[in-house]
A and B are shown apart, each in its own frame.
Chain A
Amino acid sequence: MIRALLLAASLLAPLPALASVFEHPADAAELARTLAPATAALASAQSLHGRYRQTKQLAGLPAPLVSEGDFLFARALGIAWRTDKPFAAELLITPDALIQRSATGEQRIDAATQPAVRAIAQVFFAVFALDFGRLSATFEPYAMGEGDGRWVLGLLPRERLGALESIEIRGDTSVTQVILREQGGDSTRIDLTQTRISAALAEHDRARFERR
């Protein structure tokens, strides 16, 4: 029932229209100014915890595909992305690779040889560490304030990056939403909620990044 309601809610609330952020090219200084509320909050953080909800809208498909789970960002290690619904899965995102974990073992996709995998890892690191400087080699950055300490960043790939058209990142003291748009009208929205910032990394959290 709750799930049905959520689904209905997400259907009713349209995806934010392609905001005018792409009319505001940003240099490093502009990025730093825009992100100031978030960088201050994140300065001493060693880890972030939170929940996510991914809503994927595919062309030709009336209902979006929704998945949910939690995430852990450990500054020096990477991101552990755990999916609860519609099935259990875990993905580790490190600067070098995406590592898929399942009951049967680990499957590693190397970032070094695959530009798309590297771009995904870069975007996730940028989202959680708010380090957008490193993205500027792959993406043209745009930035805009939306009032009340809320901001929006836009990223356009410099070279064609698969079917990806644009990325929008919204946040206040931390990132709250990421939207990826693709050719053909597909889009993926990731909402981040209940984000908790910690100044330390718990031992059992660290253990999640160890190889199995």
Chain B
Amino acid sequence: MSALRLRFAVWLALVAVLVWLFVTQLAPRLRIESDITAMLPQTAPDAVVEQALARFAAAAGRRSIFLIEAPDFARARAAGAAFAAALARGDAFEAIEFERHVDWAAIDAQFGPHRGGLLSQQDRELLQREGGEALVEAALRDLYTPTGLIRVRPFAEDPLKLYGNFLLGLTQPGARLALRDGVLTPADGHPGAVLVAAVLRDSPFAIGAQHKAADALASAEHALRTAVPEARVASSGVLRHAIVNSQRARHEIGLFGGLSLAGVFAVFAYCFRSLRPLLLVVCALGVGTLASISAVHGLFGQVHLLSLVFGSSLIGVAVDYAIHFFSDRFREPAGWSGERALRHVGPAIVVGMSTTALGYLAFLVPPFPGLRQMAVFSVAGILTVGISVLLAFPLVAGCRGRPMPRGLHRGFTVLAGIRRPAGRRLGLLAAAAAALLIGGLYQLTFIDDVRALQSTPPALAADEAHIRERIGGGIDTRFFLVEGADAEALLQREEALRQRLDLLVERGGLAGYLALSSSVPSIARQRADRALLAREVYGAQGPLVRLLAQLGFDDAASVRLQAEFEAGAQQPLALQDWLASPLSEPYRALWIGATARGVASVVALNGVSDVAALALAAADVDGVMLIDRVADISTVLEHYRRMALVGLGAVLLAIAVPLALRYGARTALRQLIAPVGGGLLTLAVHGWLGIPANLFTVLGLLLVLGLGVDYGIFLREGAAARPVTLLAISIAAVTTLLSFGMLSVSVTPFIRSLGLAVLLGVASTWLLAIAASAPSYGDTA
């Protein structure tokens, strides 16, 4: 067997193993992830925070709220009923919350025995401020005027309405919501609106769940319009974002992949004028894609949609090696064979492949799952395509050289005519470049806010703004994590925190919050409230006894009330009992439970408008932490952007050393002009255009660095056949520009940043590489 056949056989065997692995191991459990947040860095170094994020954030993510509006309440309610019923029909949602029936019997069973230690916030403050007499006055007003016509509990049972007021606070659905005729409505005075909440069965990011939910939503909106034509619905929640993001990503994979492939086809058809290179490159790219998906899935357990979007542009890079291989045909149209091509371009392909792969490997450094996936995807793809070119192409590429197409010939003549500037010309150029660079870099800004890296379609953003305006919005992504050695310590800390949050709500910095301790006061607080009541209300000569006597009740009534009050003293309400009852159902996501440090809970927020005050609220309460994942991620992004810039310099040095060893210091310096200049130019252009740069821009530059060094190496190694090499790197640059150019119009901002950096970088690096390697004036080409 000849060496060529052996190579081909090895390749065939490798491909067979790959295909076999893919079909038998991978395809049956292929998982495509579309959760953007799964791509973002995990910012929780703390196990408890991670536990809270996993439990609370996951529950919050499955929840969507819908605000249904109509000209009046009756129609809004009818529309809401139709909408909720239609949502409930499919199996996408595990729970639909529309009509709320307060189970008073259960509430009574749970709280009744402990009522002597339960006070509403207002009553507690009133008692502390003005004492029991104030309550007596209010009780008399209730008895003689209409304010007391509808009591929560009958007079004999709760003369001062203390228990009734506590129960009202308990069943109050939220600061800006009201329960009306059994459904939730905004408490802003405009009556024609109701709320529906829906809880997904699966994660909103599971593609299957998205399909089912999207169908259910469409039929629910149809049902709503059929029931009440003038009704409209606004929604808030992760679900619709997730659906939109995966639709966009799928759209872009198809579009970018298709256009990249079409571009490659066009370039190959025009340049090489035969079917064989075309078929071979398609084959290599196919194997490369298979290898990429397998590698990512093998390492990460799933493939993210955005990796696929990014990967679809890989076509433009991986195809370079095939281009170099086939461009070699132009070098010796007569005696060309695959074997000779291998000898000529093989070393350059190996060096180029390694530097590009190294560039991508830099993506592994930040703890950014998305980038790591992209890096693995790219490296696997590039190596597979490169190796395919080296192993398979020589045998099957045929042995017919070809003359260069005429148009191409004219093009490369122009390129080959480029001369290295020297003397005054060089001075002028250098001055102009310096002005361009300094001006641009001076104007360059960096924005690392993760919100700027995710995009929301205007319709969704408008919906959310509308809901925020009417009810303060859904549950915020920020929340407080409260920890304590045991449930009692935890509840006491929550109470300390809530005191500050109440002030914030009053000042308008926060619409509302949800906390376990709103339903179950700490035992310390129950004891304090009981003591307050004993001092201010009960007792032989207390205001309660006097009120009852004044009204004409006999002594038995006050003796009975006093006995009831004292009976409950030994058994305060316990958090665990409440958590075990069905009443706590809506709040259970707030309970994180046992942790490595004790127990933890979440205080959920909605309608946050003053973040600084929020952070301050937690500052002086022990065991309370404001978790703001969005801000944390932004900080991480900034950190790694800085690191990546330093890394860029380090990579440059790392590349400079082998270049200097192989080519000598002077040539090595000249070879670095292109990648360094290209990178700086790219940043300067960002500055001039007013486009802020971020981590992804810098990572794009890392790719450019790899490619730029490639160009230099190919031009240097192929100096003997400069026109052909020129042509090869130019075709390669065109395919790269094509594919990354498309990424620069992606709707996902961080992919767009990456695309734009590579687009600008490759264009300038390519020009600089040609100019820097060109013979100077006076030399002959």
Residues of A whose CB lies within 8 Å of any CB of B are: 54, 56, 58-63, 65, 67, 81, 83, 86-87, 89, 91, 93, 96, 98, 100, 109-110, 112-116, 118-120, 123-124, 137-138, 158-164, 180, 182-186, 188
Known: A58-B156, A112-B189, A186-B155. A87 touches B182 (CB 8 A): no
Q: Which residue of B lies closest to A157 (CB)?
A: B150
Distance between B78 CB and nearest chain A CB, rounded to angstroms: 11
A120-B142 Cα distance, complex, nearest whole Å: 13
Is B146 interfacial (CB-CB < 8 Å)? yes
A205-B649 Cα distance, complex, nearest whole Å: 83
Q: Which residue of B lies closest to A188 (CB)?
A: B149
Distance between A95 CB and nearest chain B CB, rounded to angstroms: 9
The stretch from B172-180, B653-661, B745-753 touching chain A is B172-180
Distance between B415 CB and nearest chain A CB, rounded to angstroms: 75
Against A, the Cβ 8 Å flags (1 = close, 0 = not) of B129-158 are 000000000001101111101111111110
Known A-B contacts: A116-B151, A159-B182. Give 7 more (CB < 8 A).
A56-B144, A60-B554, A112-B178, A120-B147, A123-B149, A124-B146, A163-B151
A60 surroundings in chain B (CB, below 8 A): 156, 553-554, 557
Contact A115 B141 (CB under 8 A): no
B554 surroundings in chain A (CB, below 8 A): 60
User: Which range holds the interface residue count of chain B?
Assistant: 35 or more
A188-B157 Cα distance, complex, nearest whole Å: 17
B77 surroundings in chain A (CB, below 8 A): 137
Contact B153 A163 (CB under 8 A): yes
B180 surroundings in chain A (CB, below 8 A): 115, 118
A188-B104 Cα distance, complex, nearest whole Å: 23
The 7 closest A-B pairs by CB, nearest first: A184-B154, A67-B144, A112-B187, A116-B150, A162-B152, A137-B181, A162-B150
Contact B101 A113 (CB under 8 A): no
Is B521 interfacial (CB-CB < 8 Å)? no
Contact A58 B155 (CB under 8 A): yes
Most A Cβ at <10 Å: residue of B147, B151, B180, B187: B147
Contact B553 A91 (CB under 8 A): no
A163-B150 Cα distance, complex, nearest whole Å: 7
Is B311 interfacial (CB-CB < 8 Å)? no
Q: Which residue of B lies closest to A115 (CB)?
A: B179
Contact B146 A137 (CB under 8 A): no
A160 surroundings in chain B (CB, below 8 A): 102, 104
The listed residue (A59, A63, A137) touching B73 by CB distance below 8 A is A137
Is B116 interfacial (CB-CB < 8 Å)? no
The listed residue (A61, A91, A161, A183) touching B551 by CB distance below 8 A is A61
Distance between A5 CB and nearest chain B CB, rounded to angstroms: 19
A120-B157 Cα distance, complex, nearest whole Å: 21
Q: Is chain B's interface secondary structure helix, strand, loop, or mixed overall? A: loop
Known: A113-B187, A161-B150. A184 touches B156 (CB 8 A): yes
Distance between A187 CB and nearest chain B CB, rounded to angstroms: 11
23 A/B residue pairs, CB under 8 Å, sorted by A: A60-B553, A61-B552, A65-B143, A65-B144, A91-B146, A98-B146, A100-B141, A114-B178, A115-B179, A116-B151, A120-B146, A120-B147, A159-B101, A159-B102, A159-B182, A160-B102, A161-B150, A162-B152, A163-B151, A163-B152, A180-B149, A184-B154, A185-B154
B104 surroundings in chain A (CB, below 8 A): 160
Known: A59-B156, A61-B551, A63-B552. A120 touches B150 (CB 8 A): yes
Q: Which residue of B lies closest to A79 (CB)?
A: B146
The listed residue (B144, B168, B552) touching A114 by CB distance below 8 A is B168
Is B622 interfacial (CB-CB < 8 Å)? no
Contact B155 A89 (CB under 8 A): no
Distance between A77 CB and nearest chain B CB, rounded to angstroms: 16
Contact B147 A100 (CB under 8 A): yes
Residues of B whose CB lies within 8 Å of any CB of A are: 73-74, 77, 101-102, 104, 140-141, 143-147, 149-157, 164, 168, 172, 178-182, 187-189, 551-554, 557
Distance between B748 CB and nearest chain A CB, rounded to angstroms: 42
Distance between B61 CB and nearest chain A CB, rounded to angstroms: 29
Contact B150 A164 (CB under 8 A): yes
A96 surroundings in chain B (CB, below 8 A): 189
A183 surroundings in chain B (CB, below 8 A): 154
A123-B553 Cα distance, complex, nearest whole Å: 30
Contact A184 B551 (CB under 8 A): no
A90-B154 Cα distance, complex, nearest whole Å: 24
A180-B181 Cα distance, complex, nearest whole Å: 20
A116 surroundings in chain B (CB, below 8 A): 150-152
A56 surroundings in chain B (CB, below 8 A): 143-144
Known: A118-B180, A188-B149. A59 touches B154 (CB 8 A): yes
B181 surroundings in chain A (CB, below 8 A): 137-138, 158-159
Distance between B123 CB and nearest chain A CB, rounded to angstroms: 14
Q: Which residue of B lies closest to A110 (CB)?
A: B187
B151 surroundings in chain A (CB, below 8 A): 116, 162-164, 182
A91 surroundings in chain B (CB, below 8 A): 145-147
A65-B187 Cα distance, complex, nearest whole Å: 35
Known: A87-B140, A159-B182. A112 touches B145 (CB 8 A): no
A119-B150 Cα distance, complex, nearest whole Å: 8
A138 surroundings in chain B (CB, below 8 A): 181
Q: Which residue of B lies closest to A112 (CB)?
A: B187
Distance between B393 CB and nearest chain A CB, rounded to angstroms: 75
Distance between B561 CB and nearest chain A CB, rounded to angstroms: 11
Q: Which residue of A lies closest to B143 (CB)?
A: A65
The listed residue (B74, B155, B178, B182) touching A113 by CB distance below 8 A is B178
Distance between A124 CB and nearest chain B CB, rounded to angstroms: 7
